[in-house]
Amino acid sequence: MFITIAGGGRIGRGLAKRLVDAKHDVVIIDRDKEVCEAIYSEYGAVTIHGNATDLKTLQNAGIERSDVAVAAMRYDSANLTFALLAKHFGIPNIHVRMADPTYEPIYKSVGVTNIGRVSDLLIEQFIVNIETPELRKVVGLGNLEIGIVKVPDGSPCDGLTIERFAKSKRFPRDVLVTALFRGSAHEFVVPHGDTVIASGDRLFLCGSRPDIRSVTKLL
């Protein structure tokens, strides 16, 4: 895909790295020349030094070829302007970073595809770290999450198979063990029913947050 990102800050830069690694064509627009040079040097993404809310800058970036446009600038006013211009060029998928929730209905009204709420992401991460420090959240998928839990030393699950562990009375029926990282061997394992759990393993769990917490307590 051809993806245009407005803003080369932490979010824009991190997104660009992942997308370039996944072999997408990425263009980043930023007003800071040094930021543009650093991104090109580190990640190989095409960079445009300019204002992403300026029509000519967007045309120079070839925005009309984009499959996806991402507004990752600091201020919502700038992200909104970029989203409007992207919509003008007929970009089918427009994503924005939102700092101020009062902008949400406006973003929706102009046809933004996805809104990333900065405050929500931070609050969610703090809650997970405060309430369940042993659980590491990877990603949220609607009402589901994928989290990583380390099997502690002396865990009652040490030596159990995945099947036996999942059949425990207190094991939530709607949680899946999707992967297992075996630290002793430094390898990922696709778990099956007969896969044996060992202390030090990291289990990748998919389910609701309360259910994943329940599994954490069992471990």
Residues 109 and 6 in one domain: yes
Q: Give the per-residue pLDDT at 132.
A: 53
Q: What is the C-alpha R_g of the chain? A: 22
pLDDT at residue 49, rounded to an integer: 96
Residue 81 structural domain:
2-121
CATH number of the domain bearing residue 98: 3.40.50.720
pTM of the full structure: 0.60
Q: Which 8-state DSSP code applies to residue 197?
A: P
Written as six digits, the tokens of 157 are 């699950």
Same-domain check for residues 89 and 194:
no
- The 10 Å Cβ neighbour count of residue 166 is 17
148 plus 187 within the same structural domain: yes
Residue 126 domain-assigned (yes or no): no
Does residue 129 sit within a domain? Answer: no
pLDDT at 89: 94
Same domain, 9 and 36: yes
173 and 101, same structural domain? Answer: no
**128: Cβ contacts below 8 Å, ≥ 6 apart:** 135, 136, 137, 147, 209
Residue ending a domain, choose from 121, 155, 174: 121
Query: What's the domain count of the chain?
Result: 2
Spatial distance between the Cα atoms of 161 and 158, rounded to a whole number of angstroms: 9
Instruction: List, run by run, the mean pLDDT of 10-residue segments along the chain (219 residues).
Output: 92 87 92 93 92 95 94 93 95 90 92 79 51 54 75 90 89 87 78 90 86 87
Residues 13 and 114 in one domain: yes
How high is the pLDDT of residue 54?
Answer: 96
142 and 53 assigned to the same domain: no
